[in-house]
Amino acid sequence: MNEIIITNENFDKEVLQSDIPVIIDFWATWCGPCKMLSPIIEEIAKEANGEYKVGKINIDEQPELANAFQIASIPTIVVMENGKVKNSAVGYMPKQDILDLLHR
């Protein structure tokens, strides 16, 4: 599965109503660490096998969502499950650390 671009318009359907966990990457085009994290997020999305979804929210294009999650630094990874924040972490991190957020 590929990453889903999450917007205000599809947030409810893709995240809040999801029956599987959703890993959300809050990012921006000008963010160096976000660019370093991007291939890892892409790899995680391709390996999902229906166990979870991976979404990306560009904070410059979706400021309302960034504000709703009180994003102060990027990249920020948020794991949503059953419509609620299960876990989150700020900054670049290795693939396994991101996957570990699903299971904590």
Report pTM. Answer: 0.96
Instruction: From 31, 2, 4, select the one nearest 18 (Cα to Cα).
Output: 4
Can you give the pLDDT at residue 73? 97
Interstrand relation of 53-58 and 22-27 (parallel, antiparallel or unpaired): parallel
31 is catalytic: yes
- Of the candidates 4, 31, 37, 54, the residue annotated as catalytic is 31
Can you give the pLDDT at residue 66? 97
Which superfamily does 4-97 belong to? Glutaredoxin (3.40.30.10)
Q: What is the mean pLDDT of each run of 10 residues along the chain (104 residues)?
A: 94 97 98 97 96 98 97 97 96 97 89
Q: pLDDT tens digits, residue range 34-49? A: 999 999 999 999 999 9
34 is catalytic: yes
Query: What whole-number distance in Å separates Cα of residue 16 and Cα of residue 92?
Result: 25
Residue-range domain boundaries for the chain? 4-97
